[in-house]
Amino acid sequence: MGNSNRAIIIGLFFGMIGLIFIIRLFVLQIVDPSYKFSAESNTQRKITEFPTRGLIYDRNGKLLVSNQPVYDLMIVPREVVPFDTVDFCNALNITRSELDRLFEEVRFNLQRRRISSFRPSVFYKQLPAEQYAILQEKLYKFKGFFVQRRTVRKYEYPNAAHVLGYVAEVGETLLQSDPYYSLGDYTGISGIERTYETFLRGQKGARYVMVDVHGREMGSLRGGRMDTSAVAGSDVALTLDIELQAYGEKIMQNKIGSIVAIEPSTGEILALVSSPSYDPSLLVGRQRSRNFPILSSDTLSPLLNRAIMSGYPPGSTFKVLMALVGLQENVLSPTTRYPCHQGYTARGIHVRCRPHASPISLVPSIAVSCNTFYCHVFRNVLDNPIHGSPQEGLEQFRNYLLNFGLGTRLGSDFFNENRGFVPTRGYYDRIYNGRWGSLTVLSLGIGQGEILTTPIQMANMTAAIANRGHYFTPHVIKEIENDTIPSRFKVPHHTGIDSVHFGPVIDGMEESVWSDVGATARIARIPGISISGKTGTAQNPHGENHSIFVAFAPKDDPKIAIAVYVENAGYGSTYAAPIASLMVEKYLNRAIHSSRGWIETRMMNANFINESTE
Amino acid sequence: MRAQNRTIKGVDWFTVLLYLFMVGFGWVNIYAVNTDPDTLVFFDYSKEYTKQIVWIGVSFVTIGVIMLTDSKFFVEFSYVFYAITTFLLILVIFIGVEINAAKAWFQIGGMRFQPVELAKVATALAVARVMCRFQFSFYNISDILRLGTLIFLPILIIIIQNDTGSGIVLLALFIAFFREGLSPYVFVFGFVAIAVFILTMIIPNHSIILILSVAFILMVLFNRFRKEALIMTAISVVFFGVGAAIFKTAGGGVNYDVALLIAMAASSIFLAIKALLRRLPKLGVLLIFFWGTVAFTYSTDYVFEEMLGEYQRNRILVMLGLKDDPLGVGYNVNQSKIAIGSGGLLGKGFLQGTQTKFNFVPEQSTDFIFCTVGEEWGFLGTSIVVLLFVILLLRLIFLAERQHSDFSRIYGYGVASIFFFHVAVNIGMTIGLAPVIGIPLPFFSYGGSSLWGFTILLFIFLKLDTNRTQLLR
């Protein structure tokens, strides 16, 4: 083959490719009609098919959250022609000035290149179904407008707002980081809606249609080959018992505080109340923009989930943990007795105690909540010679608390858990310049001082005691349609305390409710239910102390472990204990015994909000 | 002959006019993409068309510099130039900015520059320099190694930059090699390799082996070994039957791959013996070719199934059009076809396009600029653009053939090959005839460094052409 022949071959090859291209272009541009629609007569439009979010049920299969349709009025700015504004305003039920503002917004966004004049963007959000019915008949008069259906949340109960969280438009950050979302999409912002967003949201679809000048759909584009249909989100079931939840919210009305109830054998959260709360329906649809600022600027912070976010000193409820550590560390035995004469005194430090029989042993020390006893136990733990120094002793002590889930995020399905605070050796070294001993930090032993725990942590600690040594990470997710719940909720965590040590401590908790002498929580007695618990009072330097009670029941086969916090309500025995007992009774018996009706009434009517705001 | 005289004298004005027209028309289309008829601002300094004007100016100045340079310079400094651009290609991996996942851009102030554009020029020059040596031969191992290194070194670096599309462009230089005497069998072999590669992805292995086996026996037949072909067929069928029967009796399903391979191994042994006894090297070549492709099939399959991730597999399948991807790459091509198709015979007119504005078609001003031509100027516009490119390519071949020095001719073919590859792949992609590889359309696509690079590529050749009667070495 001569080289000049090869030049001809190459030339022919180039020419042939050019010819193929021209033939192909001829077919595309002139022969094939399916590509032929001009800007004046037809345009294509991508209609996003929004999936319905997954439904949410409670543990008994009661529907908590469903969906309702709303209609977004969309605009394609380039296609809009002058129209009858009065008619338009009537159809939308808005004023002329509102309309002007909406158009000003469109113009602004066009200039900023946020939206395109060729592509649809939202003009008026979330028109209710009734208004849509009115608008629909007139829509043909308004060129460049069309309606896109989507769904928003519908809440069947006015409860559990903090657990459920809410859904709103995606923010700038998520929009940048996750390509799934586009401007105007909805996403779970808090609670379950956020944690299980990927399951609940489903999969968006898209429909490509051709529309004429009037915005009427003229059929699908290219035979619908590019269309994808939306896939509805997965339904989920929660571990909440909505009746218990609603009861808890009702009983906590006019109070600030929290209730967390857990099923000890599984870690399932039965109720999670943070008061004050709000009706989740307030944050749905067009009223959201009005209600959200009201809620977020409320001085009582109804949006704050106190059950997982607020840290309080655990107060005397901490003594049960102190006893367990003492037993495990072998510095305490069930028969150890300490004298107590209304207080503990050592080297100029005095911790007061209430009058009770002396000397006192472990079980009654819990029942009457003796401070002296636990000052001894605490010092023995820290000063135990095997640790070498009280500083090392504190680290050892701290490890026990961490094993109980204190001072750390439990890893529940709430993303914004507070970790609380368990002081470290370094923390005290900084404060006391390295010179401190067990006496310096004595208040830790009775649950006061620097230590902070959240209500969910205390409920979890109680569940671990009820289980005699282990707990499951508290969680609210029970089932996810076509999927499994995260495996971390199935793994038991061991506290490092031998199960034999729980016997006397649980006896003490039982005595604190049922003992004939000095029981601190006698008001928590429920006929026929062996409830065991411990009162506590969190010191509050800003006002009246907070009332705390932790409990579980029944004693031998625990079905519920609970922590109740009532802010500014004083001693644990006065409010937290009766509220906890009502919750336990409600859960186990589904009704309140007639003999306790007066307690229920008194708790419902108690009001601590005015006092706290003064 | 004085230097000033040579500067302009003898320049191929025909090509220069083609160049000017294309650059001008390209700019008009970039202007159209970036202009919203709603908010008619005639000129906006932040827009792409303004930046493109700056680059056009830079290109014109560069043309001046090239024209003032002595032709010998390009010959002498071709290796230096190659070394510098290779260094830049490596450097950009470390200090470049990442765009569309490819680390291939230098950023200096507001301007971005892609060294791969210069690498094309440098590689074409270096290749011409190697091949113009008197004793160069495609049958000399050290020559082939030298040439292969020149081409595959930059390709490798560019692939590391994750800009595979731009790297593949250099393979176009094989067209120039063909002109210089590279055996057409190389292309046949390449074609078979690509075909097998694609086939492994869409049909099961045993079908490919079957096709290859039939082709093998047919090749034996057409090489006038009629009797051998018949015996081979008989042996293969018998062994296949026996193999299949063994599999059946063994209880499991028939493994067709293995049965076929056993059958072909048996007939190959027969053929090998025949070839040795009767001294027929042609049969030996055929045997090696057959088993080579079989091995290639399995290795491709292994790499594809075992070594590549799901995402990479899909990406390749979509690129080859073997898998639908209506919202990804497939979406782009569909939008692009709609835009071009909507242009009709005469187009919607300047600035009247709706499909090629505001993100209907992605990368409208760069890789998909041809859509704007199609939508606003219709079939008239697109066919003229295609014709102009074909004319440019043919003109380059004509110019290359009239060179007295081998260096200029080979470089000329290099230029034509690179232009051809860009045009064929870019336009082919917008009309759904080529896989979506993001490489620009010469002179049309927005992007300073590509315009600049193509200008240098072309005008070095036009400069060499002014000295066409001299022997440059």
Residue A326, pLDDT score: 93
Domain end marker among A206, A238, A270: A238
> What's the total number of domains in chain A?
2
Q: Return the structure tokens found at A69.
A: 């349709």
Task: Give the Cα separation of B111 and A47 in Å (integer).
Answer: 38
CA A429 from centroid of its chain's CA atoms: 36
Helices A390-403, A371-383: axis angle to 10 degrees equals 110
| A168-197 residue pLDDT tens | 888 888 877 887 887 778 899 989 999 999
Other CB atoms closer than 10 Å to residue B318's CB: what's the count? Answer: 18
Residue B390, pLDDT score: 96
Task: Give the Cα separation of A371 and A379 in Å (integer).
Answer: 12
Tell me: do A374 and A251 sit in the same domain: yes
Tell me: do A125 and A232 sit in the same domain: yes
pLDDT above 70: percentage of residues in chain A: 93
Tell me: do A415 and A534 sit in the same domain: yes
- In degrees and rounded to multiples of 5, residue B447 shows phi and psi of 140, 115
Q: Return the structure tokens found at A478.
A: 């029970």
Kindly indicate the confidence band of residue A517, based on its pLDDT and cuts at 50, 70 and 90. Answer: confident
From the list B348, B358, B390, the residue facing A14 with the nearest CB is B390
Asked whether residue A284 is domain-assigned, the answer is no
> For residue A206, what are the β-bridge partners?
A48, A228
Task: Give the Cα separation of A429 and A425 in Å (integer).
Answer: 6
Closest chain B C-alpha to A213 CA, distance in angstroms: 14
H helices of A453-501, in order, are 455-466
Residue A38, pLDDT score: 38
Tell me: do A248 and A171 sit in the same domain: no
SS3 A98: helix
SS3 A483: strand
Asked if residues A232 and A205 have their Cβ atoms less than 8 Å apart, the reply is: no
Q: Delimit the domains of chain B by residue range.
A: 3-182+319-466, 188-307
Q: Is residue A10 over pLDDT 90?
A: yes
Asked if residues B119 and B154 have their Cβ atoms less than 8 Å apart, the reply is: yes
SS3 A60: coil
More confident residue, B390 or A545: B390
Q: Do B383 and A25 touch (CB under 8 A)?
A: yes
Longest CA–CA span in chain A (Å) reads 120
User: In degrees, to the nearest 5, what angle opens at C-alpha A293 toward C-alphas A288 and A295?
Assistant: 90
SS3 A360: strand
Residue B420, pLDDT score: 96
Domain end marker among A238, A262, A293: A238
Tell me: do A231 and A317 sit in the same domain: no
Mean pLDDT of chain B: 83
Task: Give the Cα separation of B63 and A80 in Å (integer).
Answer: 49
Tell me: do A497 and A549 sit in the same domain: yes
The answer to whether residue A30 neighbours chain B at the CB level (below 8 Å) is yes
CATH number at residue A407: 3.40.710.10
Task: Give the Cα separation of A39 and B357 in Å (integer).
Answer: 12
Closest chain B C-alpha to A177 CA, distance in angstroms: 16
Domain end marker among A182, A215, A238: A238
Task: Give the Cα separation of B297 and A504 in Å (integer).
Answer: 74
Tell me: do A156 and A192 sit in the same domain: yes
Q: Do A14 and B420 touch (CB under 8 A)?
A: yes
Interface test with A, best of B382, B389, B409, B433 (most A CBs within 10 A): B382
> For residue B107, what are the β-bridge partners?
B112
Q: For residue A551, which of A565, A539, A540, A538 has the smallest C-alpha distance? A: A565
| B82-137 residue pLDDT tens | 999 999 999 998 888 877 667 788 887 767 788 999 999 999 999 999 998 878 88
More confident residue, A221 or A325: A325
Tell me: do A129 and A260 sit in the same domain: no
Tell me: do A257 and A219 sit in the same domain: no
Domain residues for the domain of A589 are 242-279+304-613
Secondary structure letter of residue A153 according to DSSP: E
Interface of B with A in 284-343 (CB under 8 A): 326-327, 331, 334, 337-338, 340-343
The answer to whether residue A213 neighbours chain B at the CB level (below 8 Å) is no
The answer to whether residue B254 neighbours chain A at the CB level (below 8 Å) is no
Tell me: do A228 and A248 sit in the same domain: no
- Helix or strand holding residue A466 (H, E): helix A455-466
Q: For residue A520, which of A533, A501, A538, A503 has the smallest C-alpha distance? A: A533
Task: Give the Cα separation of B406 and B393 in Å (integer).
Answer: 19
* Average pLDDT value for residue range A70-84: 83
Q: For residue A507, which of A371, A355, A362, A372 has the smallest C-alpha distance? A: A362
Terminal-residue alpha carbon distance, chain B: 19
Q: Do A29 and B343 touch (CB under 8 A)?
A: yes
Work out how many CB contacts closer than 8 A connect A with B.
122
Asked whether residue A296 is domain-assigned, the answer is no
Tell me: do A205 and A260 sit in the same domain: no
Q: Return the structure tokens found at A258.
A: 């929290």
Asked if residues A360 and A435 have their Cβ atoms less than 8 Å apart, the reply is: no
Q: How far, in Å, are A118, B341, B376 from residue B348 at the CA level?
A: 16, 11, 5
The answer to whether residue A16 neighbours chain B at the CB level (below 8 Å) is no
Q: Complex ipTM, two decimals?
A: 0.86
Asked whether residue A222 is domain-assigned, the answer is yes
| A321-372 residue pLDDT tens | 999 999 999 999 998 899 888 888 888 788 888 888 888 999 999 988 889 9
Task: Give the Cα separation of A378 and A322 in Å (integer).
Answer: 7
Tell me: do A229 and A271 sit in the same domain: no
* Average pLDDT value for residue range B439-444: 92
Q: Do B344 and A38 touch (CB under 8 A)?
A: yes
Q: How far, in Å, are A208, A413, B46, B88 from residue B110 at the CA level?
A: 38, 46, 11, 19
The answer to which of A604-613, B193-202, B343-352 has the lowest mean pLDDT is A604-613
| A429-483 residue pLDDT tens | 998 888 888 888 888 988 888 899 999 999 999 999 999 999 999 999 999 988 8
Interface of B with A in 10-69 (CB under 8 A): 36, 38-39
The answer to whether residue B190 neighbours chain A at the CB level (below 8 Å) is no
Asked whether residue A533 is domain-assigned, the answer is yes
Kindly indicate the confidence band of residue A41, based on its pLDDT and cuts at 50, 70 and 90. Answer: very low
Asked whether residue A20 is domain-assigned, the answer is no
Asked whether residue A293 is domain-assigned, the answer is no
